[in-house]
Amino acid sequence: MNVFEFAEQNFAIAFAVVVGIGLLQGVIMGKGIRSRFPSLKKHARAASIILLTLFSINAVSSILKFAEPVKISVSEFSVPETIEEVLFLILNLLGINAGLTAVIGIFVSITLIIFLKFADIHQIPRYFIFVISCIVLIAALLGKFTDFVPTTFQILIYAFYQSGITLGIFLITRRKESDVLSGLK
């Protein structure tokens, strides 16, 4: 019995674990955003709604890409002869030829990479986010470069994970500044 069969047999536990991991990752990133950008605490409602929108779009585009990955076969590769062919090959390899949602997803991803570099997050949570992100990256690469096609259950698991991240960030960033003395300074 492999991990996926075990998870399908215990789907309630699997969904709870995946949502918990997503929530934890979202909470860590939300706390990092709040500590890195303390002015967001004063505009918590607007900032959290903007972040909720961006991360929701990112989650939907990621789920769609995970559900139906664009397959790349080594037999289809040819040596590019023009600059346009080189750029087209790079766009296909990176998977950014899918339109506006891909651009928003890439923006959110790059912002997170930059944010994780400069955010005040302790080492253990930073490694947690890195390890989970690497696991998700490996799953995405398997979908892109192999004949792996995710099942409905695996797509649902991924959707719950992405929803957990989005909800975790939203719940942390929506809190207003609670320091009463900050208005006196």
- Identify the pLDDT of residue 3: 79
Provide the whole-model pTM. Answer: 0.74
Centre a 10 Å sphere on the Cβ of residue 111 and count the other Cβ atoms it contains: 13
- Confirm if 98 and 65 have CB atoms less than 8 A apart: yes
- Confirm if 25 and 129 have CB atoms less than 8 A apart: yes
What are the boundaries of each domain within the chain?
A: 11-71+100-175
- Identify the pLDDT of residue 130: 81
d(CA 52, CA 56): 6
Helix or strand or coil: residue 38?
helix
Token reading at 59: 């989650």
Instruction: Specify the length of the chain in residues.
Output: 185
Question: Across the 185 residues of the chain, what is the mean pLDDT of every consecutive 10-residue run?
Answer: 81 92 89 81 82 84 78 70 80 62 60 69 83 81 78 89 90 70 44
- Identify the pLDDT of residue 181: 40
